[in-house]
């Protein structure tokens, strides 16, 4: 299960809740595992540095013969060659260019080996990768076409004004080392609007390219978390019986420890959490920025029924 959409759209909350279901395991943003986990040694969701986490050490050994055996420089080169938003038109074709096909296969093989090792180590039937980025989903599409992975995509959408406000906020990264980046990246509202259009539009294209994609609005999820989680679980092939959903109630959920490798600081939360809509943007995002983001994202805002129109 690949969680897609622009960052700050609520995917971490969705991932954490899905990860509590029997037979599921949340991995975090696997796209950042290589640099932030295997290279920089940032903390696993369980709280210990990635290289010291027994779970990820066993996974690395099973998948690659140890994390030291992974050529991270080569991986970074491959990502630059195939896994960027600008490469989506190429990745969306019916046939890859002859010079790109082996690069995509080599790049995706890293993920497939990792997924297989995690599945074997955890016993989970469904792995949840909240990498978000559409370009990676398009890369994985080629493995799915070859029958090498059962790829299902949950496209999480949030009101562009709320996303834009979230990207302006200064959020500390608690998993960073003392010498690493202390805060998460910040974007201006216009820049966020451009990325919001690009990412969400790309996932609509992915659905037209034969990948099983289910779209869900963040606002609908937090309004009815139990019902929406049941729907997503069925889409993922996970049990959706009452007992499996007992950890979710009206406006709250109970979270246990996890082994997410990278992502939003919320991945470190355990115990009872409150589930509620975050509408601070309505008063905290300057009116001029609200108007600017609305104008820049108007077609998709209407398409997703944020301003009326068809969903």
Does 274 score more than 80 pLDDT? yes
- Say how many Å lie between the first and final Cα of the chain, rounded: 23
3-state secondary structure the chain: CEEECCCCCCHHHHHHHHCCCCCEEEEECHHHHHHHHHHCCCECCCCCEHHHCHHHHHHHHHHHCCHHHCCHHHHHHHHHHHCCHHHHHHHCCCCCCCCCHHHHHHHHHHHHHHHHHHHHHHCCCEEEEEEECHHHHHHHHHHHHCCCCCCEEEEEECCHHHHHHHHHCCCECCCCCCCCCCECCCCCHHHHHHHHHHHHHHHHHHHHCCCEEEEEEHHHHHHCHHHHHHHHHHHHCCCCCCHHHCCEECCEEEECCCCCCCCCHHHHCCEEEECCCCCCHHHHCCHHHHHHHHHHHHHHHHHCCCCCCCC
Q: Residues 7, 164: contact at Cβ < 8 Å?
A: no
CB neighbour list of residue 54: distance below 8 Å, 6 or more residues apart: none
Q: Please give the mean pLDDT across all residues of the chain.
A: 95
Q: Residues 50, 70: contact at Cβ < 8 Å?
A: no
State pLDDT tens for residues 226-236. 999 999 999 99
Determine the average pLDDT of the residues in 242-248: 93
Residue with tokens 């890369």: 139
- Domains, the chain: 2-304 (3.40.50)
Pairing mode, if any, of strands 248-249 and 252-255?
Answer: antiparallel
Q: What is the pLDDT of residue 180?
A: 53
Q: What is the pLDDT of residue 176?
A: 52
State pLDDT tens for residues 164-222. 999 999 888 775 544 456 788 899 999 999 999 999 999 999 999 999 999 999 999 99
Token pair for 19 = 């990860």
Rounded to whole angstroms, the Cα distance separating 44 from 4 reads: 21
Which percentage of the chain shows pLDDT scores above 90?
Answer: 91
Rounded to whole angstroms, the Cα distance separating 217 from 219 reads: 5
Alpha carbon 55 to chain centroid distance?
Answer: 21
Rounded to whole angstroms, the Cα distance separating 202 from 183 reads: 28
Q: What is the pLDDT of residue 160?
A: 98
Whole-prediction pTM value? 0.95
Q: What is the pLDDT of residue 181?
A: 61
Any bridge partners for residue 273, and if so which? 253
| Residue 294 pLDDT grade (very low, low, confident, very high; cuts 50, 70, 90) | very high
HSE-up of 118 (CA within 13 Å, CB side)?
Answer: 23
Closest CA to 164 of 199, 143, 148, 188: 188
Alpha carbon 61 to chain centroid distance?
Answer: 25
């Amino acid at each position: 299960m690949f969680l897609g959409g622009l960052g700050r759209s609520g995917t971490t909350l969705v991932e954490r809740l899905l990860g509590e279901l029997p037979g599921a395991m949340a991995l975090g943003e696997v796209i950042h595992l290589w640099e932030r986990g295997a290279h920089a040694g940032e903390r696993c969701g369980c709280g210990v540095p990635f290289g010291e986490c027994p779970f990820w050490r066993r996974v690395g050994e099973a998948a690659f013969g140890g994390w030291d055996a992974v050529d991270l420089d080569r991986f970074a080169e491959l990502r630059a060659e195939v896994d960027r938003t600008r490469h989506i038109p190429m990745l969306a074709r019916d046939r890859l260019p002859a010079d790109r096909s082996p690069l995509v296969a080599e790049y995706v093989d890293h993920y497939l080996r990792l997924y297989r090792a995690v599945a074997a180590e955890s016993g989970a039937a469904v792995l949840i990768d909240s990498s978000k980025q559409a370009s990676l989903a398009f890369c994985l599409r080629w493995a799915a076409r070859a029958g090498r992975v059962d790829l299902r995509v949950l496209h999480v959408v949030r009101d562009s004004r709320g996303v834009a406000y979230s990207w302006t906020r200064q959020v500390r990264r608690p998993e960073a080392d003392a010498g690493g980046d202390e805060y998460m990246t910040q974007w201006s509202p216009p820049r966020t609007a451009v990325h919001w259009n690009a990412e969400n539009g790309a996932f609509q294209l992915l659905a037209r390219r034969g990948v099983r994609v289910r779209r869900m609005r963040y606002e609908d999820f937090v309004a009815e978390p139990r019902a929406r989680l049941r729907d997503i679980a069925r889409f993922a092939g996970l049990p959706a019986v009452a007992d499996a959903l007992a950890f979710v109630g009206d406006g709250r959920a109970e979270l246990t420890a996890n082994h997410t490798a990278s992502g939003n600081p919320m991945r470190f939360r355990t115990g009872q959490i409150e589930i509620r809509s975050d509408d601070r943007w309505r008063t905290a995002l300057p009116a001029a920025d609200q108007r600017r983001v609305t104008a820049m994202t108007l077609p998709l805002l209407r398409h997703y029924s944020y301003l009326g129109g068809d969903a």
